[in-house]
Amino acid sequence: MRFPVLTIKLITMDLLIPEFGTIIWATIGFLITFLILAKFAWKPLLKGLKERDNSIAQALQAAESAKKDVSLLHSQNERLLAEAKIERDKILQEAREIKDNLINDAREQAKKEAHKLVEDARQALKNERTAAIQEIKKMVAELSVSISEKILMHELADSEKQRELIDKSIVEAKLN
């Protein structure tokens, strides 16, 4: 009689310890599969793996090269940016200097023009004053002549007085 516990152990032992014929057929099957895979599949698999390895290496080199290029471009950009800032500062400084020069020139020009206007006004005032004095002298002369004429007319209305004036003028002319 068999005990059920023992039967389970024997069945499990059969699975763990195969028979000799099973080992030989399994080994022959493994070798045939290995040879078929080695002959037909192993070389393409290795070739594919090698190609993949090469493409990964090339991609890594390209990435490293791109990284260097980006680093170089970044440093060039930084340098260009610094140069642009220097150029901007230089242009702004020149613009300030030009602005200051223009303002100073405008001030000087305004001073010169103001001085010229003052001088022109003084000269015009002097000319007008001279003209006014000349006009007054002319008016005084005309008025003097008019007054003298009226006085002479009044004084010389008498012929006797006219004779005396003529004689007196002749005597004075002879003395000179």
Mean pLDDT of the region 27-32: 95
Q: Which residue has the tokens 């030009």?
A: 98
Q: What is the reported pLDDT for 15? A: 63
Q: Which helix (H) or strand (E) holds 74?
A: helix 43-155
Please name which of 23, 46, 43 lies closest in space to residue 35, comparing C-alpha atoms.
43
Q: List pLDDT tens digits, range 33-84.
A: 988 888 888 888 888 899 999 999 999 999 999 999 999 999 999 999 999 9
Q: What is the reported pLDDT for 61? A: 95
pTM exceeding 0.75: no
- Our CA angle for 133, 135, 137, nearest 5°, is 70
Mean pLDDT of the region 113-142: 92
Residue 30 and residue 43: Cα distance in Å, rounded? 18
Q: Count the alpha carbons within 13 Å of 14 in the hemisphere toward its beta carbon.
A: 5
Q: What is the reported pLDDT for 111? A: 93
Domain boundaries, the chain: 4-175
For residue 175, what are the CA distances in angstroms to 78, 99, 168, 169?
Answer: 111, 81, 11, 10
Q: List pLDDT tens digits, range 130-140.
A: 999 999 999 98
